[in-house]
Amino acid sequence: MATFINAVLCVCVLLVFGTCGTMCESVVPGFYVFGDSLVDNGNNNYLTMSLAKADFPHNGIDYPTGEATGRFSNGKNAADFLAEKVGQPSAPPYLSLVSKSKKLSSTNEVVTGVNFASGAATILNPTDELFQKSIPLTKQVGFYFLVHDELIKQMGLDGAQAHLTKSIFLIVIGSNDLFGYFNEDSEVSKQYTPQQYVDLLASTLKGLMKQMYVLGARKFVISGVGVIGCCPAQRKHNALNECNLEANYLSIRYNEGLKAMLRDLKTELSDINYSYFDTYYVMSVLIQNPLSYGITEIEAACCGLGNLKADIPCIPISTYCSNRKNHLFWDLYHPTETVSSMFAGLIYNGSQEVTTPMNVEELVKL
């Protein structure tokens, strides 16, 4: 516990005095992001039918431009901060590269990285794909196939493979699949027991990572699911604003399955390496000892309306807190920029208490 506390306090100091130095030098050739709204930086802006969007105020109020970009945050998200630490710019949203009939061949941005993440994305394919509300992980990996082909065109087969072998592949997903299990009209809860369901999620993710491996990916950064039952959207259903213990228990079971899957994958494919971030543990420590990290509000969202500011999401008519740095949650689901920066700092150089079997700083040196 002490190691974690010291690490987070160090991150907090970096937030005040800056994060540059040697870590801002480029240490990886490419940074490729897959996942959900925790790391989406604008892909859903291009999905006409999607309701999971953040391209409007008050989102982005603390972003460098002061404008909403499609990030579900008051500022940057964890993928932005981690990209900085490995010396790369924030990867452009994939759909921004192919919008308005623009072709990947018209840009060399794919070399330094691409963000495929999508708000509301899931590991399992949704049943209502008639309307494209998000980009599920299977489709994100399909988009990566196209980027891989473009890298070969630009760099040649050997050059592309050498590039991808040293690149980082960040995967942050799973929360929406778990939330879906508890929906009133959930079909999956009728089909699977909780254990069967989390096993299915882990095995599906394993298959997708193997596809990425075939196309060059060797260094993975995988984030476990956080304490999802303690987000404002879940707390508001309890008269005492307490966490949803059933949702948290499912998160624990999924994370255990995810760690076991990663160990098995390493056994099967010995030349891959990975860093697993224990988001659940980190969030639990923050919730139990918030004042130690400058957090004074762990229950209510900063932006929204109603009970815990979670009855209505962060939209232009919502109100927002004046001090975003002391809130754990920006809106009813997502962390503030400050907390995302803390997470990224620990992903990069945290101890084995929070990153296993290594942190990203160690991963990039392999």
Known catalytic residues are 37, 331, 334
E strand or H helix at 276, and its extent?
A: strand 273-277
Neighbours of 365 (CB within 10 A): 8
H-state helical runs in 230-336: 232-235, 245-268, 279-288
The two tokens of residue 251 are 């998160």
The two tokens of residue 57 are 């105020």
Contact 335, 60 (CB under 8 A): no
- Rounded to an integer, what distance in angstroms lies between the CA atom of residue 189 and that of residue 197? 8
Burial class (CB in 10 A: 0-12, 13-18, 19+), 263: middle
How many CA atoms does the CB half-sphere of 259 hold within 13 Å? 16
- Rounded to an integer, what distance in angstroms lies between the CA atom of residue 177 and that of residue 321? 30
Closest to 254 (Cα-Cα) out of 275, 234, 272, 280: 280
Closest to 206 (Cα-Cα) out of 122, 273, 263, 271: 263
* φ/ψ (deg, to 5) at 99: -75, 155
- Rounded to an integer, what distance in angstroms lies between the CA atom of residue 358 and that of residue 7? 15
- Rounded to an integer, what distance in angstroms lies between the CA atom of residue 252 and that of residue 143? 30
Residues 6+ apart with CB under 8 A from 304: 232, 310, 311, 312, 313, 314, 318, 319, 331, 332
